[in-house]
Structure 1
Amino acid sequence: MPTKRQMPTVRLRRLAAELRRLRTGVELTREDVSAHTGINTATLYRIETARVRPQRRTLIALLNLYEVPEPQRGEILALSQGASTQGWLRPYHSELPEEYTAYISFEAEARAVRNYESLFIPGLLQTEDYARAVIKGVLPMASTREVEQRVQARVERQAVLAKGDPLHMWAIMDEAALRRVVGGPDVMHEQMRHLATVATDPHMTLQVIAFGAGAHAGMPGSFVLMSFPEVEDPEIIYIDSMAGDLFLEAEADVRRYGAIFDNLRAVALSPDDTSSLIASLAKELQ
């Protein structure tokens, strides 16, 4: 049976970035490192791209080669020890898609997210009934058990908005996400009331791109940009599509999607006008 691939975590990404920095700092290629340590270049590539956590003896060999002094050496070893721990997972999440569980872990450790959605209410802002209707519609072949597992995971994820140091969220939606009557008028009425409530939270910013705005930069699809508390942890982009889930972290991609989000902010209704639109839609659905 094939081995389940190591899911990336914030700490694993930080460890990978630090090992890349140390290697380039001593001006060694991966081939040079392999020649000095016997570590396979493919293995080193997987370590430096956060595909796997290095074994302790492998990590020590790398630290020796890079001549890493204390206390930095101890800090890196401690970082590696906790690098495999997913930040927030429940036992049943092992049955969810691997990319989704990785996303859940990143989201739980994020400081802020910028989320654009073209067709859905953002997952963190969905009511339970709306989430259930969406999941049933998007995954028509899923069993009742699978649907309920995903609904439970989606609802539990929302704890990041209510914790002591809540996640800061800036959500932009196309008006189509609000106009599509998912689950029927009653479900959408409840969903609009929920959006009206969360829009008043100080750590939340909601905007809608009105139909009248015409074509805009978000039309190709939805995306999430996540940033983390530590400056050493680079931002990450998550894209969910029918072709599969994708994580991007190259600086060029982060800049590009950041610029797209800024453009969407500019063409969207203001937060106050967005709240007025949500209240109007809730009244229509009542």
Structure 2
Amino acid sequence: MVNPTIQRRRLGLALKRAREGAGKTQDEAAAVIDAAASKISRVELGQSGIKLTDLNLLLDLYGVRGDDAEPLRDLARAGRQRGRWSTYRNAVPDWFRQYLDLEGDASEIRWYQPEVIPGVLQVEPYIRAMNAIAHPRPPADEVDRQVAVRMERQSILRQDDGPDLSFILSESAL
């Protein structure tokens, strides 16, 4: 499955390099697509996608043409696809869905967690127990969504080509 977060980040880095290579500022790029400089910043950071018409205008401004432009168009198309975590929109905020996409594509995960078991390692009874002591206590349907997300996250632990994992936990977490 195409990971739109990763594709947007790759496109953003390529666009930033092209803009800087062309000696253009974010303000100049924004003026070409009739947008705020913050839009260019969000695209370059991979935080938002870009329409192909706007992308083509930027590529012209940056002098990116022909065979060099088509892979960037492909990245833009892939970045607009729905990601694996889009079904959890009501349970996971946008910023955390981006984190989950990055976690799913990571080749290595190192985690230091002194007080609680990391979410990717939590089992259902643990998740429910942690929510039972939370203040304010979340509604049951929200807890069910959190359980579903954490169980889905654990799929990276079962992948043959999954990331190398390293966890440091304190005794109190256990």
Provide the TM-score with structure 1 as the length reference: 0.55
Higher fraction of helix: 2
Is the contact made by 2:32 and 2:58 (CA closer than 8 Å) also made in structure 1? no
> Which residue in 1 is equivalent to 2:138?
142
Q: 1:42 aligns with which of 28, 38, 41?
A: 38
**What is the CA distance between 1:130 and its match in structure 2?**
1.2
**What is the CA distance between 1:137 and its match in structure 2?**
2.3
Q: 1:100 to 1:38 in 2, by over 3 A?
A: closer
Q: 1:34 to 1:94 in 2, by over 3 A?
A: closer
**RMSD of the alignment, in Å?**
2.1
1:94 has 2:102 as partner: no
Match of 1:138, SS? coil
**What is the CA distance between 1:21 and its match in structure 2?**
0.9
Q: 1:19 aligns with which of 7, 15, 22?
A: 15
Q: For residue 91 of structure 2, what is the amino acid of its counterpart? A: L
> Which residue in 1 is equivalent to 2:57?
61
Q: Specify every segment of 5 or more residues in structure 2 that has no aligned partner in the other structure, as ranges.
A: none
Is the contact made by 1:88 and 1:104 (CA closer than 8 Å) also made in structure 2? no
**What is the CA distance between 1:171 and its match in structure 2?**
0.8
**What is the CA distance between 1:20 and its match in structure 2?**
0.8
> Which residue in 1 is equivalent to 2:164?
168
Is the contact made by 2:32 and 2:57 (CA closer than 8 Å) also made in structure 1? no
**What is the CA distance between 1:86 and its match in structure 2?**
4.9
Q: Specify every segment of 5 or more residues in structure 1 that has no aligned partner in the other structure, as ranges.
A: 1-7, 179-286
Q: 1:156 aligns with which of 138, 152, 157?
A: 152
Matches of 1:120 and 1:86 in 2, distance apart? 31
Q: For residue 159 of structure 1, what is the amino acid of its counterpart? A: S
Q: Between the two proteins, what is the percent identity of the paired residues?
A: 29
Matches of 1:43 and 1:112 in 2, distance apart? 31
**What is the CA distance between 1:35 and its match in structure 2?**
4.8
Higher fraction of strand: 1
Which gives a bigger RCO, structure 1 or 2 (Cα 8 Å, sep 6+)? 2
1:85 has 2:81 as partner: yes
Q: For residue 31 of structure 1, what is the amino acid of its counterpart? A: D
Matches of 1:58 and 1:90 in 2, distance apart? 25
Larger Rg: 1
Is the contact made by 2:24 and 2:62 (CA closer than 8 Å) also made in structure 1? no
